[in-house]
Structure 1
Amino acid sequence: MLVSRNPALLAVAPLGGIGLAFAARRPLFAALIMVVIEVSNASGVLGPRGIPLFQASMLLGLLAVVFALRDPQARHRLNGWTAICAGLLAIYLATQVVAMIGTVDMAASIEGMYRTVIDCVFIMLLVLLIQMTARPWAVAAAIVIPMAVLSVLTVVNEVVYGGGATFGGFSTVTKASGELVTTLRYGGPTPDSNFWGRHLVMGLGFASALVVRARRSGQRSGLAFWALNLACLLAGTYLTQSRGTFLTAGIAFAVWIMCAGPKFRRRSLLYSPLALGVFAVPGIGNRLLLAVKDLSEASVSYTVDPSVLSRLAAQQEAWMMFEERPYFGFGPATFAGQVTDFAGRVPVAVRTPAGATHNLYAELAAESGITGLLGWAVMIVGFLTVAALGMAQDPDSRERVMAAAAIAAIVAWSFASIALHLSYFRTFGVVLALAAAVSPWPISGETVRTFVRGVGGWVAAAVLGATAFVITLSAMSSPAFSATQRMTLMPVGPEDGWYAYALDIRSRIEFLPTFATFMADPGSPVTIGADPVRGILKFTTTAESADDARDAIQRAVAHADNTLTITIGYQQYSLQRVGSMSIMPAHQRPPLATLRAGGVAFGATLVSGLVLSRVAARRRARGPHARRSAGVESVGVELASA
């Protein structure tokens, strides 16, 4: 397990063995080492150099658990949450095993399952160690400090070295540049700034909790230290220049504030105007608006950020795989092998298809179907419930901000995974393990019942919000027909050497977008989308009737043909149809209709949820234990609203 290809390690192997034995007898020290290694991705950075850091970390965890179990006091700290966490991980693994039965590539699935099992064992070791040591604040510090240090390295790299230093691989500059970026994009210890950003947003809530703890204890030096760490995390977040990271950072803060308590929510209202100023920071607001524009114009591929286009194509491939095998998928870790079969069948085409889905949920759907999605949902909701019940059991506990941080980290990571596939699972597992450690045991039956009622009220509010969304969107929609005609450009003239060159319109990536631009009629509702990968010009429109849609397409094609002739003459290219026109029923909506309906749904959910929670609180106030139950109800409501 600890075999290395690096001969130099043989000289320090005895010292490493001594250090391993020393740390294994100190469970807290062992847990902190394991957390730091995962948060900093030290195993990923040093592994290619022949240093088996993860294997050593895994062995350290196993030995530390064995030694800790010999201590009666440590064993006594294990409780029902330990078994529940093990059960949640087992459910996820079981669904992956079921999906593997019908896999299309057994070798790839076995390799993927091996990694998944190892990761889950690692997470369970951390659950045991953190519970037996009962020092969750130390673990939170072990999450925040390495992230802050690595963020400082990215700042130094940007300001001093202009991105020229890697600091041993812990401050990498990613290859993807992106549009409207204001700095280089830093991936920290990972090769992708988006994954590093997903790490950082998990640390924001814990840094905030540590700031609150230091302030409550009256430690000015501690307050300054943790505030500085939080500032470093924010700087590192900015230097990722990742739009998804910016959004999920806001989500992390919002969820933490909602769960931390009424006092924090009141203060957040006072500072909310300052939060809006974040959108004025160069590289944040303008890039987020550009992302919305790109997503709405994905069919016009030549105007879209290539990174957005690649993600859309990969996700379309994954969902098409899900449609073909909806129950058990194609098998764990099989997406990369199926890309070539699906890349040419999705609407969005890219020259080099991605080997990953760039969407965790699309990945689960494609590889393990509904079974895998349910297994993942049970695991995530289960860990969220563990932390939430801990808050509900003692709403006034000083540990509440820590539980809120764990919930915020899980929610933010889950939102970030809408645009990222499953990777660095063990780092996420650190947060899952910490969520169980901050919850007291046992949980009273009254707490569970009251919490369920509180969450049920917000679930009902969410149903009302969804109904409002559907009704609003339907009211703004009208029946229509969408027509599409695919065209291409064919060279005119004798089939000589020039003809062969002219026929190659796909390798010259600017060719079709240029023609699509000048052939478009500004006064026509028809859009011309260029697909340089497939060599296609797609004429698309939506009208109230099928005849109107068909006529609009025919007029647009005629206008494009005339414009082509006027511009380049008769002897170069001509428009040729590719297949027949497609006319399908559709819905016609005004601009931003979905966004407006979403706003109505959010407002309906918020108002109805607050009303239901207030009614429930008044009913609880009439019975015994009114004060305590109202507090528990409030926590259930706060968590569900977050």
Structure 2
Amino acid sequence: MSVITPNSPSQRWLTPIIIFMAVAAAAALGWAVISIASPTIITVVVVGLVLAVLTVVRAEFGLALLVLINYTRVSDTLIKYQGFPSVAKPLVALLVVTVLIHWLLYKEPPRGWDKPLILIGFYTLVSYASLLFASDQATASTAFSDLLDDVIIAMLIVLLMQRFQSIRVVVWSLLVSGTFIAAISVYQYITGQFTNAFGGFGQAAIMNIVGESNDYRIQGTFGSPNSYAQVLVVLVPLAFDRLLNERRLLARFAAGFALVTVVLTIIFTFSRSGFLALAVVAFLTLLHYRPKLETLLIGLALAAALVLFMPAQYSERLSTLTSFLPGSTSSAQSEVSFRGRINEYAVGFLMFADYPFLGVGLKNYPANYLEYSPRVGIDPRREQRAPHSLYIEVAAEQGILGVLAFALILIAVFRGTARAARQFGEMGLRRVQSMTSALSIGMIGYLTASFFVHGSYPRPFWLLVGILLSVANVAAQEYRIFHSQQTGRAPFDLSISIAQTYEQE
């Protein structure tokens, strides 16, 4: 969506809309001053009204806010720790209104939303059908309601990301949101302020490290070190890409700062799944970008410096990963967490075997765990457990239809982004092509960690799905225009010209 300008075809609507919003803002501000005693809340109201006006005038601004607020659970954290009302829900409503304003009044209908709607809609329908077999209907219904919120946000991203410029906006929004909480985590770990939650943005808890040893693990805003590391891994290739390809020195410095803080935070989570995902992402990033020798040497020196910040027990915890290697003298079953994971995976397969078509119901794996666990007999703990794998979770709770719907989304994501990267390259948009590849590698990192992390916090996943489907959609739509221009069948397109100018600077 473009910026509303005085030359817009429906310019006559602009003045009445702004006047109406100004009057509404003044009325709301007056009510806040009279009715609310808290200066903090009044400040939030004022800032919210300003952001609302900016969002309607420039939809990409609202898109950036949507990513910032939801990728790192800012809204949920403010609700839980500060007692704020939901920030995300009013923003979603405002963005829906913004889409309608641009669509109906400014004749800018969103393009290419039908295929993502079919893919996401199919998965949603399968999830709803799985409720038929749920033994814990209350949990299943709540989970489905949360899923609806997530897929609505994913589709909203598809509706908002319509031009080249929005891709860079989203990439930097992801980096800013992740760097914000990662910087807090790094400061928290270095200073040892683990009991200070930093307003909910710096959660930490004493958890098992290795064997009988326990220590603090960083959790950020997620309350889970593994989920936190999983979300941050996505940002590593994005930061590396911006470090290499941004034009301005300040932007490159910001990207470098993001890269360092994110990698350190992943280490401070002590997450083995996060480490494996980081290793995969690092390998794919180096393979794709093939940095110059001097850049590689600087990177190695930086990595060596980061080792100085590595916790004493980190390497010891990672060494337990060798328990699964052939010929290992240690037994995987001697490690408590490994033994539990094996039991949980086996239970998931048993659930899938008993309910192959639609599973045991959305988020009903824990409710059925104690019934199946004795049949496996590896883990003696008599307590509800999670599946600790997104793929086993989908199979156990939504059956073969859920697996199929999930696989179709991932196939569309990676086929679409691969095609998009090729199309951006043909249009001469190398920087946009590079960002597309970085997003794909980030998603691979997220899915790698998903082998060992279930969907406790699924919203980042759906945000990424919406973003990657949008990137493919933008490339397809703009390539069609570009190709028509090349053959003289379409008029000059300003968006493509702006993007090409950015490439040449």
Say yes or no: TM over 0.5: yes
1:223 aligned residue (224, 242, 252): 252
CA distance in 2, matches of 1:144, 1:51: 25
1:54 aligned residue (88, 93, 118): 88
Q: Who is 2:441 aligned against? A: 408
Q: CA RMSD in A?
A: 3.4
Q: Helix, strand or coil for the counterpart of 1:348?
A: coil
Q: Who is 1:111 aligned against? A: 142
CA distance in 1, matches of 2:47, 2:391: 40
8 Å contact 1:399–1:438 — kept in the other structure?
no
8 Å contact 1:237–1:246 — kept in the other structure?
yes
**1:155, distance to aligned residue in structure 2 (A):** 1.7
- 2:465 is aligned with 1:435: no
1:330 aligned residue (322, 344, 360): 360
Task: Structure 2 unaligned segments of length 5 or more: list them.
Answer: 1-35, 481-505
8 Å contact 2:205–2:219 — kept in the other structure?
yes
Q: Helix, strand or coil for the counterpart of 2:454?
A: coil
**1:434, distance to aligned residue in structure 2 (A):** 2.5
Q: Who is 1:141 aligned against? A: 172
Are residues 132 and 42 of structure 1, via their aligned partners in 2, closer, same or farther at CA, if it must alter by over 3 Å?
same
Q: Helix, strand or coil for the counterpart of 2:85?
A: coil
Q: Who is 1:42 aligned against? A: 74
Q: Who is 1:452 aligned against? A: none
- 2:190 is aligned with 1:173: no
CA distance in 2, matches of 1:270, 1:156: 27
CA distance in 2, matches of 1:268, 1:99: 51
1:549-560 correspondence runs (5 A): none
Q: Who is 2:270 aligned against? A: 241
**1:125, distance to aligned residue in structure 2 (A):** 0.7
Are residues 247 and 106 of structure 1, via their aligned partners in 2, closer, same or farther at CA, if it must alter by over 3 Å?
same
1:331-382 alpha-carbon deviations (Å, 9 max, x no partner): 2221121122112221311324343211111111111111111110111111
8 Å contact 1:79–1:441 — kept in the other structure?
no
8 Å contact 2:206–2:215 — kept in the other structure?
no
Q: Helix, strand or coil for the counterpart of 1:418?
A: coil
**1:111, distance to aligned residue in structure 2 (A):** 2.5
1:124-135 correspondence runs (5 A): 124-131=155-162, 134-135=165-166
Q: Helix, strand or coil for the counterpart of 1:177?
A: strand
8 Å contact 1:148–1:233 — kept in the other structure?
yes
Q: Who is 2:490 aligned against? A: none
**1:196, distance to aligned residue in structure 2 (A):** 0.6
- 2:46 is aligned with 1:15: yes
TM-score by length of 2: 0.76
Are residues 293 and 412 of structure 1, via their aligned partners in 2, closer, same or farther at CA, if it must alter by over 3 Å?
same
1:580-591 correspondence runs (5 A): none
Q: Which has the higher contact order (CA 8 A, sep 6+)?
A: 2
Q: Helix, strand or coil for the counterpart of 1:399?
A: helix
In structure 1, give the amino acid aligned to 2:471: V
Are residues 243 and 93 of structure 1, via their aligned partners in 2, closer, same or farther at CA, if it must alter by over 3 Å?
same
1:67 aligned residue (101, 106, 110): 101
Q: Which has more helix, going by share of residues?
A: 2
- 2:395 is aligned with 1:365: yes
2:407 aligned residue (365, 377, 394): 377
8 Å contact 2:281–2:442 — kept in the other structure?
yes
1:88-142 alpha-carbon deviations (Å, 9 max, x no partner): 2112113223333344444433322221122101111122112268321121111
Aligned residues: 431
Q: Helix, strand or coil for the counterpart of 2:219?
A: strand
Q: Who is 1:256 aligned against? A: 285
Q: Helix, strand or coil for the counterpart of 1:184?
A: strand
In structure 2, give the amino acid aligned to 1:193: P
- 2:309 is aligned with 1:309: no
8 Å contact 2:323–2:330 — kept in the other structure?
no
1:213-244 alpha-carbon deviations (Å, 9 max, x no partner): 22xx2x33332222122111111111111111
8 Å contact 2:154–2:462 — kept in the other structure?
yes
Range with greater deviation from structure 2 (269-278 or 335-344): 269-278
CA distance in 2, matches of 1:175, 1:417: 23
Are residues 53 and 276 of structure 1, via their aligned partners in 2, closer, same or farther at CA, if it must alter by over 3 Å?
closer
1:394-448 alpha-carbon deviations (Å, 9 max, x no partner): 4352212111111112111111111111132222223223323434124989xxx
Q: Helix, strand or coil for the counterpart of 1:231?
A: helix
In structure 2, give the amino acid aligned to 1:416: A
1:452-531 correspondence runs (5 A): none
CA distance in 1, matches of 2:293, 2:115: 35
8 Å contact 1:27–1:133 — kept in the other structure?
no
8 Å contact 1:315–1:362 — kept in the other structure?
yes
1:515-539 alpha-carbon deviations (Å, 9 max, x no partner): xxxxxxxxxxxxxxxxxxxxxxxxx
CA distance in 1, matches of 2:477, 2:281: 28
Are residues 340 and 321 of structure 1, via their aligned partners in 2, closer, same or farther at CA, if it must alter by over 3 Å?
same
Are residues 268 and 187 of structure 1, via their aligned partners in 2, closer, same or farther at CA, if it must alter by over 3 Å?
same
In structure 2, give the amino acid aligned to 1:53: V
1:57-113 alpha-carbon deviations (Å, 9 max, x no partner): 3223323322332464743xx433x32222221121132233333444444333222
8 Å contact 1:207–1:226 — kept in the other structure?
yes
- 2:380 is aligned with 1:350: yes
Q: Who is 1:3 aligned against? A: none
2:420 aligned residue (383, 390, 402): 390
8 Å contact 1:390–1:443 — kept in the other structure?
no
Range with greater deviation from structure 2 (348-357 or 239-248): 348-357
8 Å contact 1:201–1:248 — kept in the other structure?
yes
8 Å contact 1:103–1:331 — kept in the other structure?
yes
1:296-333 alpha-carbon deviations (Å, 9 max, x no partner): 899968831x3333322222221111121222211222
Q: Helix, strand or coil for the counterpart of 2:206?
A: coil
8 Å contact 1:294–1:308 — kept in the other structure?
no
